[in-house]
Amino acid sequence: MSVVEQARRARDAAEALATATRTVKDAALHAMADALVARTAEVLAANAADLAAGREAGLSAAVLDRLALDEGRVAAIADALRQMAALPDPVGEVVRGSTLPNGLELRQVRVPFGVVGIVYEGRPNVTVDAAGICLKSGNAALLRGSSSAAHSNAALVAVLRDAVSGAGLPADAVQLLDSTTRDSVKELMRARGLVDVLIPRGGASLIRAVVEESTVPVIETGVGNCHVYVDAAADLGKALAITLNAKTQRLSTCNTAESLLVHRDVADAFLPAVLAAFAEAGVTVHGTPAVAAHSDAVVPATEEDFGAEYLSADISVAVVDSLDAAVAHIRRYGTGHTEAIVTDSQRAAREFVARVDSAAVMVNASTRFTDGGEFGFGAEIGISTQKLHARGPMGLPELTSTKYVVTGDGHVR
């Protein structure tokens, strides 16, 4: 089936979803979750085939980690669907309303986009998260995953479509596009009028290609070169815990810290401890000469290192002279995702928050908290780093548009 045909089927499904009640949609989400648990063995068998092919193709450990499923991860994916069912339905929410001087009643209400295309890499959990968040927000989903997860995605979508259909909604509310060639991506990007919005979720090259080539409106999700800045007024115990969590809690996510900046006033006290902790955790430090002076294991940092989203056991580290220098460094190399400051100075925290132009700014907290689930939004479609419509974790409200409903009593102009 061509992408155009799938998009047409999605539009028909979206029409049914737009008027589905919350009760019906939530029942479908629970059915999807139950089906995933019941058919875990089927999903894991498909995932094993992808992992074997990935190892043979020489995929990195970080990519394989993003690709891998086990019983615990499948159960967590199912739980995310159940948690989504418990969230308020954004469709029909009145954003604002008033009675105009002429007596007309004006309401701005949330409505689904219609058909949402998602292009993503690796992680098969995105397949389920995207399908669920689209369904809950009344949208049909066209999913285009990567070829590395083809077996996993096919198995997951088969489970989801059966569950959706069994719950009384169109199976075409969830569709998987072919991932064997790039043609399906190109067709999806050109399906203006059939696809209402396109969301790329993955590496820099994927996002850039979709943003630059698509005729379908795009919500841009971002690459995560996230920074932790340890200020002169930092509690160094907190700084060590936050830095290690931000870098090592999970290496392959976009909210993982890739750069550490340390104020020169605390560098001698902090760097030996953090470098030793990184070494114990197996993290390679790419640092400036001021950093290398504290450890022979430091690899000289290049310009590319400071701009890198490693998604691996690597981090760039630099000593900065001031908060001004830290902000300047972040503005030069950051990607607008998440930045963190560790400080006991309210003035420094306020200045950092005001001057750093990112979707999320953490004060004395790990960058790993930039996440729809951690923010209480439920599963997210991605982290938007643009400034239009949606910014930061994109939950249910961000998967809606609005319409104005105007009610009169024979009014004419």
Per-residue pLDDT tens digits for 252-294: 788 999 999 999 999 999 999 999 999 999 999 999 999 999 9
Q: Is 182 exposed, middle or buried (0-12, 13-18, 19+ CB in 10 A)?
A: exposed
Report how far residue 139's alpha carbon sits from residue 134's, in angstroms, rounded to the nearest whole number. 5
CATH class of the region 226-369: alpha beta
- pLDDT per position as a tens digit, 228-239: 999 999 999 999
**pLDDT tens digits for 205-250?**
888 889 899 999 998 887 889 999 999 999 999 999 999 999 999 8
Q: List residues bridging with 230 in a β-sheet.
A: 262, 342
Structure tokens that stand for 166 in this block: 């069994």
Token pair recorded at residue 39 = 């058919």
In sequence order, the 6+-apart residues with CB closer than 8 A to the CB of 314 are 258, 283, 284, 285, 286, 308
B/e letters for 228-247, b = 16+ CB within 10 Å, e = fewer, are bbbbbbbeeeebbebbbbbb
CA dist., res. 125 & res. 139, Å (int):
18
CATH 3.40.309.10 placement within the chain: 226-369
Distance (Å, rounded) from C-alpha 172 to C-alpha 157? 10
Q: Which part of the chain has CATH 3.40.605.10?
A: 3-221+394-407
70, 211, 286, 404 from 331: Cα distances, Å: 39, 22, 19, 39
* Nearest alpha-carbon partner for 25 in 194, 138, 179: 138
| 189, amino acid identity | M
**pTM for this prediction:** 0.85
Instruction: Assign 256 to helix, strand or coil.
Output: coil
Residues 67-112 pLDDT 10s: 999 999 999 999 999 999 999 999 999 999 999 999 999 999 999 9
Amino acid 245: pLDDT: 98
Q: How far is CA 377 from CA 31, 46, 95, 395, 405, in A?
A: 21, 30, 18, 5, 27
The predicted pLDDT at position 66 comes to: 84
Per-residue pLDDT, averaged over 136-146, amounts to 97
In CATH, which superfamily holds the domain spanning 3-221+394-407? Aldehyde Dehydrogenase; Chain A, domain 1 (3.40.605.10)
Handedness of CA 216, 26, 70, 165 (dihedral sign): negative
State whether the Cα torsion 60-63-67-68 is positive or negative.
Answer: positive
